[in-house]
Amino acid sequence: MPSFESEKLQETLLDLLRSQEREKQLRDENAAILAGMSAMAGANSKRQVFNSLLSVLRKYIGFEHALVLTREDETAPLQELVTTCRFFESSIWPVSNTFIRCMNGESIALFAPKQVSEFKELPHEMLHYCHSVLLTGVKVSSGDALLLFLHSDRGQFTPQCRRVLERFRPLLERAIIDIDYRERLQSLVTARTQELIHSQQRFKDFAKTVGDWFWEVDTDLQFTYISSPNLANHVVDNDSILDIFDEQATLKKKLKIKFEMKEAFEDLEWRLPKSEGGLWISFSGTPYFSKQGKLLGYRGTAKNITNRKKRLFELQEARKQAESANKAKSQFLAMMSHEIRTPLNAVLGFMDTLAESGLNPDQVHWVSQMDQSAQLLLTIINDILDLSRIESGNFELFNTEMQLEDSINLVVNQLCEQANKKNITLTAEISPTVPKTMVGDKNRISQVMFNLIGNALKFTNQGSVSVDVSCNNKYVVIAVTDTGIGISSEAQKNLFNPFIQADGSITRRYGGTGLGLAISQHLIDKMNGKITLKSTLNEGSCFTVYIPIVQSAEVSTFEEPVIEAKVERSLSILLAEDSNTNQLVAKLMLEKRGHRVVIANNGKEAIEILENNRKEFDIVLMDISMPVLDGLQATKLLRENNVDIPIIALTANAMHSDQIEYEKAGMNGFLAKPILAPELNAMLNKYQTLAITA
């Protein structure tokens, strides 16, 4: 019995000792946990928090290196957050079953890490430290976290180590959460710092471009800040901003008014003296106020704008040169107008005379065809020479009752010879539904047809060109179809732009100005119609023109007058003209209408004739461009000498600006060369009526 009690007592004492040891161990562990938490609370960085944790755990777990891995997304791999080994910095780890078990709260000791899928693909320098691994996981607010303890020898982590991790889990969770928080905080601080650096740099860059010099003054206009004592080549040594401009009274007055009215100002220009380089400076400023709205002063910038002023000067010079070139172009066009119209005047005048000289019917028809062609040529010349009208689309339509069939056949007949030379079939089909007569500008429509059919023949080497005219609702539809070279889709984009051909090779091979289609589109647009194009490269093209059908009652544009000459009274006319051919043409046209004509070869002769026989003449037809004395100067001299006889400008310079000059010189009217019978008849009838009533 005593022996049994003795054994019982011994067991009780052993249990007491074990209990005391466990109690002491728990006290030590709790003290270590508290010490660790205290150390982490005073840490200033994630590294200090990590080191505080490791210093506690080293007393219970023998490891060489430690590593914390985290991830935010459950589908993402784990990334290194903090480590004691440089080989594991910035490392990325795949996630498989072992890591998932740990992140779910389990602590695992690996005795053969190479056999675990997460470690199989590690580089050799990392795997060298992973012969023994102890790991556990915790949940953090941002996602998952994993803590690994590593050793380069095998069998270093026992089941006791796993139990330590379990007992120290509160400390582990606190440490990893703290590390993760500090990492995020540090990342945020770094990002904000970087943004601040970028903002500062951005401000510096903006400052460099916005102004060369920054200034600030108080309410007394005394400087409180300047970015530099040197402004361009000028030294700023004044106390007041206004003192800078003592030699610039106007600018100083402007600034003073702005300051007094508390107004912002921009780009007040100031030029430095030539001794300081003569640079141009631009001043800008704005008032600034306290939170209570009290004026504190003004601040602003000054910028060297010398280069800008130089560019402005260069632009002004370029503009002057462009205006000079434009003036030269106008003078050239005026000269071309005169040179082209002068011989055309003779052609039209002699055709008009020839038509009334007793020709047989065939000859009358031929002359009529020649006259219509010449009229069409005159229309084309007018458009080409008057480029300003072409570019603005400001075309005048002379709408009259016309036969569309005649205009189409006229152009086709004119171009038949060209088609025959190329062995191309040229046909015109006009549907019976097309009105016999319609209101329109026959010359303009003929011009469009001449361009379209002429282009079709030009770019067709074999096959045919057909002109099909039909009606579609309220439109006459004219389709010009060819079997020519066609037009690429890219070239079609610019086809209706002035002076542009489909491509350079076409320009060289086929010639042309590239103006015809642009003029045609302007004309059709003016008629409230449209032109469309369908074309396939190397197969052919079809230009389709839609012209509104206008009835007689709908005519709203100017209708070309057709006036027959009425010889109610024979006029005595002085014709001042230097060209012998034009003298003959004009004299024939006037005498055929029953008038008496006296010829002067220049302006000087006209003045001499009128001075001696002023009352013998009813009107003067005065050419503008003449030798010795031109028509403008002659008219001015006559008006200065109180000669009030009507003077009509007779010239090939037919631009609107010229007509204004003729009126200023004292001329009473304008008759353009080539002289057209309707215009001549209208002018003669007007002065015959005046002569009768006088």
What's the CATH code of the domain at 581? 3.40.50.2300
Q: Is residue 324 part of a domain?
A: no
In a shared domain, residues 29 and 176: yes
pLDDT in tens, 193-239: 888 887 766 666 555 555 678 888 999 999 888 888 887 777 888 88
Average of per-residue pLDDT across 34-44 = 55
In a shared domain, residues 544 and 578: no
pLDDT at 634: 93
8 Å CB contact between 514 and 506: no
Q: Which of 309, 334, 359 is the last residue of a domain?
A: 309
In the DSSP assignment, the letter for residue 240 is B
In a shared domain, residues 22 and 153: yes
The residue among 287, 222, 239 whose CA lies nearest residue 259 is 287
8 Å CB contact between 525 and 518: no
Highest mean pLDDT among 89-103, 267-281, 565-579: 89-103
pLDDT confidence bin for 681, thresholds 50/70/90 = confident
Identify the helix (H) or strand (E) that includes residue 139. strand 132-140
pLDDT at 575: 93
Q: Is residue 332 part of a domain?
A: no
In a shared domain, residues 163 and 218: no
Lowest mean pLDDT among 238-252, 355-369, 522-536, 680-694: 680-694
Average pLDDT over the chain reads 80
**What percentage of the chain exceeds 70 in pLDDT?**
81
Lowest mean pLDDT among 303-307, 419-423, 430-434: 303-307
In a shared domain, residues 42 and 157: yes
pLDDT in tens, 110-163: 988 988 989 988 888 899 999 999 998 887 766 788 889 999 999 888 888 888
Q: Which of 257, 289, 309 is the last residue of a domain?
A: 309
Q: Check which CATH number belongs to the domain holding 296 and give it.
A: 3.30.450.20
CA dist., res. 681 & res. 547, Å (int): 32
Q: Is residue 5 part of a domain?
A: no
Q: Is residue 9 part of a domain?
A: no
In a shared domain, residues 250 and 291: yes
In a shared domain, residues 169 and 271: no
pLDDT at 563: 43
In a shared domain, residues 631 and 578: yes
pLDDT at 93: 92
Q: Is residue 524 part of a domain?
A: yes
**Long-range residue pairs from 273-282, CB within 8 A, at least 24 positions apart, any chain:** 273/247, 276/232, 276/233, 276/234, 277/232, 277/233, 279/232, 279/233, 279/304, 279/306, 280/304, 280/305, 280/306, 280/308, 280/309, 281/231, 281/232, 281/234, 281/305
pLDDT confidence bin for 361, thresholds 50/70/90 = confident
In a shared domain, residues 585 and 632: yes
pLDDT at 558: 38
Q: Is residue 555 part of a domain?
A: no
In a shared domain, residues 63 and 133: yes
Residue type, 260: E
pLDDT at 511: 46
pLDDT in tens, 283-305: 888 998 888 889 999 988 888 88
pLDDT at 392 over 50: no
pLDDT at 559: 42
Q: Check which CATH number belongs to the domain holding 523 and give it.
A: 3.30.565.10
Q: Which of 285, 309, 333 is the last residue of a domain?
A: 309
In a shared domain, residues 179 and 222: no
In a shared domain, residues 443 and 536: yes
pLDDT at 508 over 90: no
pLDDT at 688: 81
The number of residues making up the chain comes to 694
How many domains are there within the chain? 4
Average of per-residue pLDDT across 75-85 = 89
Average of per-residue pLDDT across 345-363 = 78
pLDDT at 505 over 50: no
pLDDT at 245: 83
pLDDT in tens, 514-566: 567 777 888 888 889 999 999 988 899 999 999 998 876 544 443 444 444 45
Considering only residues 70 and 355, tell me which one the structure prediction assigns the higher pLDDT. 70
List the domain range (segments joined by +) for residue 452.
396-548
pLDDT in tens, 573-603: 999 998 888 888 888 888 888 899 999 999 9
Cβ neighbours of 625 (radius 10 Å): 17
Residue with tokens 């049994």: 4
Structure tokens at 554: 């709908």
**Which residues of 200-311 form beta strands (DSSP E)?**
213-217, 223-226, 230-231, 234-235, 265-271, 280-289, 295-304
Q: Is residue 374 part of a domain?
A: no
pLDDT at 384: 63
Q: Is residue 559 part of a domain?
A: no
Average of per-residue pLDDT across 104-110 = 88
Considering only residues 676 and 160, tell me which one the structure prediction assigns the higher pLDDT. 160
